[in-house]
């Protein structure tokens, strides 16, 4: 049984087996959660991202996919980097956003992780409407078979927290 929990705060302050990063295809860092994770986690994370790119991700990590690295100095065993979908009003890209949660959980299972902390993927720079992103996140976790015991959504502000809380009610 997987329990979904909500926390208000900064994901880089969490203690969990896995901290999920809302990265971009380059895996070389950025703003938002990505910037915060690399800042607090230290250079070991970026070094491993660079090695992954050189070894097997020459064109970058595709949208909806996920890879794991060390968590560096974060209070976690791994960071799973996933590439969210940029919001589009013209095209339904929901399955790509859902894929971020599915692929991250699949990788977490492979690693043997029991607790996984997710940010609200795609709801910042990638502009996904919060309520819809929260619905996709919660429905996908609910419908994905996994041995992960706790999926913790770590929400940065009230708007995100309330959107996820409505989905869990």
Report whether 120 contacts 83 (CB < 8 A). Answer: no
> Measured between alpha carbons, how far is 138 from 141 in angstroms, rounded to an integer?
5
Q: Which of 99, 104, 123, 140 binds ligand AR6 (CB under 6 A)?
A: 123
- Taking CA atoms, 130 is separated from 97, 154, 160, 165, in Å, by 12, 14, 6, 12
Q: How many CB atoms lie within 10 A of CB 122?
A: 27
> CB-wise, 47 or 112, nearer to ligand AR6?
47
Report whether 85 contacts 64 (CB < 8 A). Answer: yes
Residues in contact with ligand AR6, shown as a per-residue x/- string from 76 to 95 under the rule CB under 6 A: --------x-----------
Q: Which of 113, 120, 136, 148 binds ligand AR6 (CB under 6 A)?
A: 120
> What residues act catalytically?
34
Task: Give yes or no for residue 10 binding ligand AR6 (CB under 6 A).
Answer: yes
Report whether 40 contacts 137 (CB < 8 A). Answer: no
Task: Give yes or no for residue 64 binding ligand AR6 (CB under 6 A).
Answer: no
Q: Which of 101, 118, 156, 164 binds ligand AR6 (CB under 6 A)?
A: 156
Q: Which of residues 24-63 bind ligand AR6 (CB under 6 A)?
A: 24, 30-34, 36
> Measured between alpha carbons, how far is 45 from 68 in angstroms, rounded to an integer?
10
Q: Which of 44, 52, 125, 165 binds ligand AR6 (CB under 6 A)?
A: 125
DSSP one-letter code for 60: -
For binding to ligand AR6 (CB under 6 A), which residues are involved?
Answer: 10-12, 22-24, 30-34, 36, 84, 119-126, 154, 156-157, 160
């Amino acid at each position: 049984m997987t329990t979904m929990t909500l926390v208000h705060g900064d994901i880089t302050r969490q203690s969990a087996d896995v901290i999920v990063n809302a990265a971009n295809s380059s895996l070389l860092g950025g703003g938002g959660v990505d910037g915060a994770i690399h800042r607090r986690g230290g250079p070991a994370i970026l070094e491993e991202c660079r090695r992954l790119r050189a070894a097997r991700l020459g064109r970058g990590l595709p949208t909806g996919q996920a890879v794991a690295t060390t968590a560096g100095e974060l209070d976690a065993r791994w960071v799973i980097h996933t590439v969210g979908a940029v919001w589009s009003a013209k095209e339904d890209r929901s399955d790509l956003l859902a894929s971020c949660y599915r692929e991250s959980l699949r990788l977490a299972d492979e690693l043997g992780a029991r607790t996984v902390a997710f940010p609200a993927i795609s709801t910042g720079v990638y502009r996904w409407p919060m309520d819809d992103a929260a619905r996709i996140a919660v429905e996908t976790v609910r419908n994905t078979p996994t041995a992960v015991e706790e999926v913790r959504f770590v929400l940065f502000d009230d708007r995100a927290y309330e959107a996820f809380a409505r989905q869990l009610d």
